Each structure stands twice: as structure tokens, then as C-alpha cells.
Amino acid sequence: MKYLILGNGPAGVIAAETLRAEDPQGDIVMAGSEDAPPYSRMAIPYLLEGNIDESGTYLRKRAGHFDTLGVRQKAGRAVALDAAARRVLFHDGSHEDYDRLLIATGSHPVRPPIPGIDRPETQTCWTLEDARAIAALTRPGSRVLQLGAGFIGCIIMEALAARGVELTVVEMGDRMVPRMMTPEAGGMIKRWVESKGIRVRTSAGVERIDDGDGNAPLKVRLSTGEALDCDVVIVAAGVAPNVGFLDNTGVHVAKGVIVDARMETAVEGIYAAGDVAEAPDLFTGAHLVSAIQPNAADQARIAAVNMAGGEARLPGVLAINVLDTLGLISTSFGQWWGDPAGQGVEHVDAEANRYLSLQFKDDVLIGATSIGITAHVGALRGLIQGRLNLGPWKDRLLANPTAFFEAYVAATQPTTLMRSAA
Amino acid sequence: MLKSLHIDPAKCTGCLQCEMACSYEHHGVFNPSKSRIKVFNFEHEGRMVPYTCTQCSDAWCMNACPVDAITLDADTGAKVVHEDICVGCKVCTIACPFGTINYEQDSGKVQKCDLCDDNPACASACPTGAITYVDADWTGLGKMRQWAERANTPSTAAS
Amino acid sequence: MGWARKILRVNLTEGTCASEPLNMQWADEYLGSRGLATKYLVEETDPKVDPLSPDNKMIMSTGPLTGTMASTGGRYTVVTKGPLTGAIACSNSGGFFGAELKFAGWDMIIFEGKSPKPVYLFVENDRAELRDAANLWGKSCWETEETIKRQHQDPQIRISSIGRAGENQVLFACVVNDLHRAAGRSGVGAVMGSKNLKAVALRGTKGTSGIKDFKAFMQASNEAKKVLADNAVTGEGLPKYGTQVLMNVINEIGALPTRNHRDVKFEDASKISAEQMHEKRATDGKPQLVTNAACFGCTIACGRISEIDKTHFSVVNSPKYWGASGGLEYEAAWALGAANGVGDIEALQYANLLCNEHGMDPISFGATVGAVMEMYEMGVLTEEQIGTAAPFGSAEALVQLVEMTANGEGFGKEIGEGSRRLCTKYGHPELSMSVKGQEFPAYDARGIQGIGLAYATSNRGACHLRGYTVASEVMGIPVKTDPLVTEGKPALVKAFQDATAIFDSAGICVFTSFAWTLADVQPQLAAACEGDWSMEKLETVGERIWNMERQYNLAAGLTRKDDDLPPRLKTEAAKVGPAKGLVNGLDTMLPEYYQLRGWTPDGVPSSETLNRLGL
């Protein structure tokens, strides 16, 4: 049996390792398109901050890890798939045949159609190569405009601030991290970031990027009418799945590659996992891309088990996120915006920069958003993913949302071991 | 044979010696807020429940770590955080559905139960035997795992 | 170290909170908690102050072992001038509040003045501020804890508060922490109420790092824990039965004060005993006791968590009392039960719950009800005056009176004054079973002679916890003495009093002394604290604390005459049991006690004694 894995990010690596565990004899090839060992984009901000060097971003630290596992690494970007022949063609003209294929090609940053967006001082922040470029372009005092204050934008922001740049963030949405945070929470993050000396423009866009007028290399015009002198523009306006090579292959692609609960695509023997995959949502069953490492890991394991002939199913994708914006830590889980037929509670402590929103349907937690609360937040996932019936704890949580960990422990730990004293 | 922490809530009196022992072992201070084991007191039921990482086989935290900072200690079965590698991204804290790996602001790293290198301080400090360190196939642990798995099934690998 | 070296001064009049360094010289001389807080009170207030005036201060203090791994190292003390007694008041409590104060980085909080409006203090590590408590005033201790936790959205906050009893300045109001732990005696809750201070809410995440030698401390505390575990009382009796283990024991030896001390045995003692709490009830097939529970750091775990019988008349219509909550301890079971002749353990638990909920000392409350019942039977008080028929043994009367007292209604207001004031008002001061105005606890001084002297000389009024000679006289700890004789008791009382001052001041629970002597505490203190903490030093510090409290009381206007027992104990002999025919021999013990203490025949510390102790 020969397994071909396209992509060597977290999904590719975990799939390779899982395949090896499930099938000691199989032939495993993992193809990556970048000039570095498998690494994690999650670690790039820490690289930019100077906390780690490039090797600190590597997904596996042990030398010869993949050789030891008998995973052959191939450098190459897939450009075409012949599903009937079970063959993938790479950009350098080489090809690989397979019995089982995993598409774990991830995503790429989107450059919105703005005049001047392709100038050399305009940089995305996605790959190690991007990180090297940003490190070369920015120095303390550099005037940096960051386009986009979504999840990735916010993660980069901290690193840029740590490099001592003068930062302006422009976000189209009416708040920061609009696709992860409630209005109240997004506002709280904005106030926090502004208090740290970062200029934030929400409900604003970049209209064009021009040559500077002598004060700076660039002049950036905003929809608000402002015109800013900038040294560098960082584009963090979202990402899109790497699916270009799948045209006319029978693999169904919407935004990402459509998979079932076994992570298999419409074509038998072809699977997908990670940022490129659209898997059924935990609650609605609607297909959803959830581009975050833990989900990539879960999906990759399930895909690999099925590829090796086992049987595993994803109970559904649960969108989860954690963000550290200049020391203010926020999380979001599941259907954080709630359900029209459900109930919710929002606790706001502006003074302490603490926030918690819990959203219920019946007596089950379906979503949550937090700021400034880091202890035991994983239990929010546990409550949501386990679809735990909260019973009397629902009312207690409506009154005291911060008691969620107690609720989780109460709901999961055996109650039968009652005793009479000593 | 691997050993595991076995927790019997029925024996817990809620004294918090375990929390202090844990914080002393790992941080050199008596400070329950830094403990990796936590005792819940459900006042109105008269029920006290010590709770910590079960070193679950799914190892959500380990699989979620982007930089290989959490590894399996083959001798103890513990999933151990390597502080020198951890970048503090906190992804593991939202990945673990049990809420037992936590970000620590002071160090900028995450922390979790590491079984104290095969000699858990919480079990040594427990005066009632509510927390013991026993062979891993002990039924109580199985029960706890069952609970954990029923609550949070990521996958049901049957192979 | 051991100490956090920092105290919080809260001026309620001005609404200010200020940090200041702990006076380390005083710490070296008075250790901590009880001793050190009393030193501050002595230095900063006039002993003649009206206890309920703004000029009185109230101090909440930890000891150097509070918030450490020392077993039972979670205690704090409330020190103030007591409104029930006019003497020094010093009540300590377990639970989790004391350790949290240390974890927030403070040794003690000094409250001074009076807030113009109800407030509560919120402390989060270094940050301390007074907050409006308008919405908390009128609430019970339980509601107050729940509301504060909800307001701050932090289930981990630890809270001490007063209930309606403290607000109404019931003279035996407590300060309640962690729902059912209390700084119970001498009316410290009334002082808190007089200051318009509803609650103190703490969140401490700094921990206790200031241990002089952690390694030595861990070794010493581990060895001491083993002593507790191996001891029959602290290792078996107290965890299983709680302090209630004493009910049948003390009844058997004819020292269970019954019906306002008219009798020394209670025919229904077994119905209100620890063993009864384990028995399955006929109504629901469940025992009253749910589990035992520990205070912070305690490896004994004598605390009781109980569930009342839902079908009992007191709660059948009140579901809020149906859940598990603090259960009967020996003193409460005695005061609410035997002292009134009430043998209905569910009624006792109900009264106990209300005492916890509204912040009242069940000992003083129960004992005062005992006096009321006696006067009712004598015809001094009528059903009309009281609002209910109140014969000895009436569970219905107990239930009504606890509600009336908690709510400050009708005759409950008079009960809230304590037995001395109430009995004096109705012309029978001799029926108040109290010393210095504070009601006796659960040991009859005719059947246990030494405890009579301990009651008479206790600096905070009648109290078993200032010199628990019962340990020696009944249980043989550390050596067995004959409870029926007075010989040797003055020395025994002095030794217990001085040693107890150290246990209290260290921040640990006096119940450890069932197994520990000072020699078990000393290595823990020596490892935790800077300076010399030898046995000799501890003995001196204990005696110094005792004499300092005595000096305070004398300066407050108390005299030798206040070191006395009610005539009943000195003239009415025990009717049955081993002590049949005996009265308490206080008058033979007291002069010898004064002499041993180095006090004049009038009970005043001599100048030699004061010099020797550095006072």
C-alpha cells in the first residue's frame, strides 16, 4: 500500500505518523512545497518576536524523525491530479503514484484587489519566507500598516509590536476579530490594543497604495479619507484553501475540499484534512473550514486511520480559537454567536478586561467566547463537544458563567461514590 | 507496568494538601492557584472532587502542539511539557477538552500534570488515600477514562 | 520568615486602604495571629473603648503557619474588644479564608473607624478597596457569599461576612467564612456590624513563598502529620465522628451540662450524638451525616457535612435547607440540645443551620435559650412575653427562638443580648451560666474540676479553647489527671493556656493538640520563621501573650471578681454520676493559679512577672 500526503504542515505530519502507526509496512511519501523542514505557522509570531529561531518552529525536533519512521519526504508542489490513474503531478515535472491520497495542502494568504497591493513593500505573513522578509523590512520605528485584524492579523500584531514598529491596523469589519469575537469582546480587544499604542481603524478599508511623497516609501489611502505615510504594509486579509490543482478531478471543492465524517472526498481513496478541508460542523452538519492546528491534528488522525483501512469518524468540526493580543488572551469556541432558540449570558468586566459569553441550546453549551480568562478554558470545548446535558448547572451558569469548569467537572465525574464519613 | 494517578473522590476531604504539594513541587511555593491538580467542592452535595490530567491516550494537547513541546514520557506515560520548547501559543489549552493544561502568565508557558517524574507529590501529600499512584489497569482509572471518553469522543478508532 | 511581612490597614471612616510593613519586632515577640493581632490592638486602642464604637478596632490575622503545608495551617483570628464581655475578644476560624489572606500577600487586616454606609472589602493580591454593600445589607452570610462571587464572577473568591445577627449587633454574632466556618465567640460579628462592614472578600494567587527553610519545613510538617495520623483521636475518632464523639463520653462521666446546668447528665444524649448522626433515619433511610470535611490544609478533617431530614417540621416548607451543609459539632449539639433538654437532632441541625446562615454563635445562643427555658419553667417569663411556650425539651420553642433571634424579632432581640444581660433584666443574674458574660461551653465544671478554673480565668470569658484541660482530665492527653479533684489543676490550666496561645498564634488548629505537644509544633515554626523559635522561647511567648491579654482586661476595668463561676456550679452539687455530691472547687484553685502565674492575690501580674516577660 502506498500513501501519498500532499502537504507537510501539521495535518500532513500527523497523518504520516498515524499512518506509520496503523500500517508498519506501507510506503509513505509526504510532499512539501517550501524550503524548510515541516514547521508550524502558529510559531511564526514567536520567531518574529525573536523568542525562537527557525528551528523552534519545526513541528518535530528530533533529528531524522521522518527517516526513522520511514516516511519519505519529497519537495514539490502538486499541480495536477489524475484520479483515474491515481497519480499526482508536481511543479517540477515529477510525479508520484498512490493507492491512498491525503490532500493536506493547507491554504494561502489572500491579497485583496487593491491598487498597489503587489508592491515590494507589501508583504503577507504566512510562510517562513514571509517571516524572513518582514524581519528584513521592519525595524524599530518603522511605520507599518497592517491590513486585516482577524485571527491571523491579531497574532502577527503582537510580534510586530514587539519589534518596536509604529503600527496601524485597518479592519473592514466593525470590530477586531469579527469572525471569532462578539461585538462586546471585539470592542474590548480594540480598546486594549489601542491602550498599548496601536492605532486601530475598524469599518475601514485600504483604497490604494501609492508611492510616498518623500516622507515615506508608501502613501496608503483609507476609506476613511486618511492618508498614511508607511514603510511597510502587511497583508493579513484572510486565507484561501490550496485547491487549484483539483479542478476537473471529481474531488468536490466548495471553498475547501468537501469531505465526509471519515475525511474522505467524493473520490474513493482520496482524503483531505486540515485547512484545506471542509468537514461537517458538529452541530449543523454543514461543511466548514476550521483552520486551526488542533482541528488539523484531529482530522489528520482520522483520515489516516481510514486510509490505513481502519474506521474512524469525526464527530463534527468544532471551531475553536485562542488569541494573544499584546497580553490580552481571548478564546472562542463553537457557535459563539448563539442560537435564536437558545439562551445566553454575557459577563463583561471592562475594568479588569475580563469577558465571558456562554451560549446554550436547551441545556447544552454550544458556544463560548472569553477574554482574560485562561484557566481551564479547554473545559469549554469539553462541554460543547461532549454535548453534555447540564441540567441544573445551566441555570447556575446563566448566573455565574465563570463557574464553567465546576460545571464540567460536576457533569463528568462519577457521582455515585458517596460515602459515609471515613 | 505504567502507573497512573487514581482518584477516589469519596475519600477526599477537601483539605487541598495536594494543591499545595503540587505547587511546591513545581514552583517551590505553597500556592494552590499554581497547582496542576484542583479540588472541587460541591458544597450543596457534600462532594469533593480532586481533578487533574488523566494522561489520556488521545493526548489532545500533544497532538495540538505546533512545536513538539509536549512529548510522551515512555517510562511514566505522562505527556510532558518542555518549557524550553513551548512558545506559549496556548493552542493546547483550547484543544484539551478536559481543561487540564493551562497557560501560566508568569512564565509565558503552559503547564500540566507531569506525574512528577514517577513520584506524584499530590499522592504523597494526600492524607486520606483519595489520590493514589497505582498500576494503570486499576479499575478506577478505567472508569475515569471511560467518562472522559464518553464525554469527548474525538474519534472512535476501532482498528 | 513565615510571615508575609505586610499588613493592610483599612480606615472605614475615611474609606482608605493602606499597606504597611509588619512590625517584625512584635512578630518576634508575639508570633502571629492571636498574639500578634492582640499586640496591635493593645498598642493602638484604649482598653476602655466602647466595643461597638468607631474607636474600637477589629483585626483579622493569620499566623506564620497559615497558608503552608503544616497540617491545619489555614486559620485566622479575629481580635477586637468584645461586646459580649467587655474583655479582649479573640475568635479563630478555619475554612479557607485565612490561607487566602496569606496567599494574597498579607499577614493581617486592621479595620478602624466606621464606614458611613455598608461596605465590603475586596482584596485581590496587592489591590484592596472598599466597595458598596448596599445590596448585601440584610442578606445572610450564605447569600452574601453567593452574591459577591456572582458580582465578581469568580467562584474562587473566599469570603468572611456577617449575617443579620452581626448587622443587628446581636452580642454573640459571629464572623462566618466559607459558608459554615466561624470566628464564633465573643460577638466579634457585632463589632464588624457596628463598623458597617458587611464582608471581606479575598482572592490571593501569590502564594506563600516566605518559608525560611523549605526542606526542613517539609520534613518537620511531614513528621508532624504522621503523628496526627497515628493518633487514635486525630487519626480515627475525629475524622469519623467529629468533635461529636464527645457527646456520649462526657455524658457518661456526668459532665454534660443539662437544662441550664441543673443536671449533669442528659437522658437523650445518645439521640443527639455522633453515633446518631451515622444512623439511617426512619423517614428517608439516610443518615444525617453526608461526609466529613477538612478546613484548609487539615489532615484530621473533623468537620461535618450533613443533610437535614426534609420531612422535619422545621424545614418541610423550606427547600433551601435541604441540601448538604455544615453539620453539628459537639459544642453546637450540646448548646442547642442538652443545654435546653432538646433531644431532636433534626431540630438541632436546623438551629445550627440558622446560626451559620445568619452568623450567630450557637453556644451562646443555645445557652441563653437554656436560661430562658429555666425562667419560663420558674414562671419568671411567660408564654406571652416570649411569644411561645418554652419549656425545657421543646424543639418547637428552639426552632422559633432561633428564627426570632436571627431575624431580630420580638423576644429574639432580648436573647440577642446574651444570657447575662437577659437574666439580669428579669432579676435572676445567677441563672446566666457564664463567665465575664460569655456562656459556658459543653463541659460541666463539677464533673471536670480543672475546666472550671479554665472557664473562670479565660481572658475572653467562659471558653473551653483557652485551656482545654478536658484533654488531660478525661482523655489522658498528654497525661491522665483525675477530673474530680482540684489538686494540680492550677498548674495544668496554666500549662494548657500558655501552650494554646502558641497553637492559636501559629495559625494552626488547637485540635492538633489532641496529638501534638509544643514539641511537635516547634520544629515547624523553627523551619518556617526567622529567628530563634526554641521550646524555651515558645513557652515564654505563650505566657507573654496570656499576660498581655490579662493586662488588657484589667485596663478595660475587669477585676478578680470577674474570674468567677456562677453560684450554681459552686453551691449546687451534681445530682448523679461520678461527680455526684461535688461542686466546683474554684475558690481553692484560683489563689494557687494566681500564685503560679506570678500575679498578686488580686489577680494582677506583678512587676517581676511583667519584667520577666518583657511586658
Mutating which of C291, C302, C328 best tests the B interface, going by the most B Cβ atoms within 10 A? C291
pLDDT > 90 in chain C, percent: 99
pLDDT of res. B155: 36
Residues (pLDDT < 70) of chain A are 414-422
Residue B157 confidence (pLDDT) above 80: no
ipTM over 0.85: yes
Instruction: Check if B9 contacts C (Cβ < 8 Å).
Output: no
Instruction: Check if A406 contacts C (Cβ < 8 Å).
Output: yes
Q: H helices of C132-232, where? A: 141-152, 164-167, 188-194, 214-230, 232
Mutating which of C127, C153, C298 best tests the A interface, going by the most A Cβ atoms within 10 A? C153
- The DSSP bridge pattern shows strands A27-32 and A2-6 to be parallel
Q: Measure CB to CB from residue C278 to each of A402, A418, A420 and give the nearest one.
A: A420
Instruction: Check if B38 contacts C (Cβ < 8 Å).
Output: no
Residue B146 pLDDT class (50, 70, 90 cuts): low
Quick check: C155 and A400 CB within 8 A? yes
In the block, cell 525562537 appears at A52
pLDDT tens per residue, range B70-121:
999 999 999 999 999 999 999 999 999 999 999 999 899 999 999 999 999 9
Q: In chain C, which among 136-175 make CB contacts under 8 A with chain B?
A: 156
- Nearest chain B residue to A404 by CA distance is B99
Smallest CA-to-CA distance from C279 within C250, C302, C309 is with C309
What is the nearest CA distance from B64 to chain A, expressed in angstroms? 4
Position C285, amino acid: G
Q: In chain B, which among 87-106 make CB contacts under 8 A with chain A?
A: 87-103, 105
Instruction: Check if B30 contacts A (Cβ < 8 Å).
Output: no
Quick check: B40 and A294 CB within 8 A? no
Is-same-fold flag (B1-52+118-149; B56-112)?
A: yes
pLDDT, chain C, mean: 97
Fold for the domain defined by B56-112? Alpha-Beta Plaits (3.30.70)
Give me the half-sphere count of Cα atoms (radius 13 Å) on the Cβ side of residue A229: 8
Domain C243-439, second-level architecture:
Orthogonal Bundle (1.10)
Fold for the domain defined by C6-203? Aldehyde Ferredoxin Oxidoreductase;  A, domain 1 (3.60.9)
Residue C560 pLDDT class (50, 70, 90 cuts): very high
Identify the three-state secondary structure at position A260.
coil
Residue B138 pLDDT class (50, 70, 90 cuts): low
Locate the domains of chain B by residue range.
1-52+118-149, 56-112
Among 1.10.390.10, 3.40.228.10, 1.25.40.10, 3.50.50.60, name the CATH number for the domain at A122-235. Answer: 3.50.50.60
Residue B153 confidence (pLDDT) above 60: no
Residues of chain A with CATH 3.50.50.60: 2-42+49-108+240-307, 122-235
Quick check: A322 and B96 CB within 8 A? no
Write out chain B residues lying below 8 Å of A292, CB-based: 91
- Nearest chain B residue to C178 by CA distance is B43
pLDDT of res. A416: 42
pLDDT of res. B67: 93
- The full 3-state SS of chain A, as one line of letters, equals CEEEEECCCHHHHHHHHHHHHHCCCCEEEEEECCCCCCECHHHHHHHHCCCCCHHHHECCCCCCHHHHHCEEEEECCEEEEECCCCEEEECCCCEEECCEEEECCCEEECCCCCCCCCCCCEEECCCHHHHHHHHHHCCCCCEEEEECCCHHHHHHHHHHHHCCCEEEEECCCCCCCCCCCCHHHHHHHHHHHHHCCCEEECCCCEEEEEECCCCCCEEEEECCCCEEEECEEEECCCEEECCHHHCCCCCCECCCEECCCCCECCCCCEEECHHHEEEEECCCCCEECCCCHHHHHHHHHHHHHHHCCCCCCCCCECCEEEEEECCEEEEEEECCCCCCCCEEEEEEECCCCEEEEEEEECCEEEEEEEECCCCCCHHHHHHHHCCCCCCHHHHHHHHCHHHHHHHHHHHHCCCCCCCCCC
- Chain-centre distance for alpha carbon C402: 19
Instruction: Check if B26 contacts C (Cβ < 8 Å).
Output: no
Fold for the domain defined by B1-52+118-149? Alpha-Beta Plaits (3.30.70)
Identify the three-state secondary structure at position C382.
coil
Residue B142 pLDDT class (50, 70, 90 cuts): low
State phi, psi for C476 to the nearest 5 degrees: 75, 30
A vs B: CB pairs below 8 A: 177
Fold for the domain defined by A2-42+49-108+240-307? FAD/NAD(P)-binding domain (3.50.50)
- The DSSP bridge pattern shows strands A354-361 and A364-371 to be antiparallel
Residue C2 pLDDT class (50, 70, 90 cuts): confident
Quick check: A310 and B9 CB within 8 A? no
State phi, psi for A148 to the nearest 5 degrees: 110, 125
d(CA A352, CA A336): 22
Instruction: Check if A341 contacts C (Cβ < 8 Å).
Output: no
Mean pLDDT in residue range C37-53: 98
CATH of domain A327-421: 3.30.390.30
Position C390, amino acid: A
Residue B140 pLDDT class (50, 70, 90 cuts): low
Residue C102 confidence (pLDDT) above 70: yes
User: Which chains lie within 8 Å of chain A at 3 or more CB pairs, if any?
Assistant: B, C
- Nearest chain A residue to C300 by CA distance is A422
pLDDT tens per residue, range B1-11:
688 999 999 99
Locate the domains of chain C by residue range.
6-203, 243-439, 449-613
pLDDT tens per residue, range B17-28:
999 999 999 999
Write out chain C residues lying below 8 Å of A347, CB-based: 153
CA angle A316, A318, A322 (to 5 degrees): 160
Position A12, amino acid: G
Mean pLDDT in residue range C195-201: 98
- Nearest chain C residue to B34 by CA distance is C205
Domain C449-613, CATH class in plain words: mainly alpha
- Chain-centre distance for alpha carbon A196: 25
Dig out the grid coordinates for C217 from the structure.
Answer: 519545613
pLDDT of res. A162: 87
